[in-house]
Amino acid sequence: MEYTTPMVHLLRQSVGNAWRGLTFVWNGERNFRLEVASAVFVLLVAMLLHFTYVEFCIVVACIAGVLTAEVINTIVEELLDIIAPSYSEHVRRLKDATAGAVLLLSLASLAAGIATVVHHFML
């Protein structure tokens, strides 16, 4: 019989809860799945182009930022659907604003990625 400390048990439980949350987002949000696929592609390109350690870390940070923003967007949408299940112009604006935040971060990440790739070809 395996013995685990209470701290390890709590950590496992927390990781399990977080994984269940990510699975919920994965299953329910097409954009999240597209962003994960894009992230895999970008990471492969970064490896093929031999990005430096710092460049690779920046890419990973951009990916994490976009995916986190998408998770937060999903949370906001779910909460708003609970609070106001019928159509509301206020809810629409809030959902649009959180989607806009994801778009803004995605575009900034894309710009950083393009600049990094272009820099590699100019060396």
Query: What pLDDT sits at residue 119?
Result: 87
Q: Could you identify the residue written with the tokens 């790739």? A: 117
pTM across the whole model:
0.88
CA distance 35 to 75: 17
Query: What pLDDT sits at residue 8?
Result: 86
CA distance 27 to 24: 5
Query: What pLDDT sits at residue 74?
Result: 97
CA distance 39 to 2: 37
CATH of span 30-122: 1.10.287.3610
| C-beta of residue 42 within 8 angstroms of C-beta of residue 55 | no
| C-beta of residue 70 within 8 angstroms of C-beta of residue 31 | yes
Q: Which DSSP symbol is given to 88?
A: -
| C-beta of residue 69 within 8 angstroms of C-beta of residue 102 | yes
| pLDDT mean values, one per 10 residues, the chain (123 residues) | 78 95 96 97 94 94 97 96 93 97 97 90 77
Domain ranges of the chain: 30-122
**Nearest to residue 116, comparing CAs of 36, 61, 37?**
61
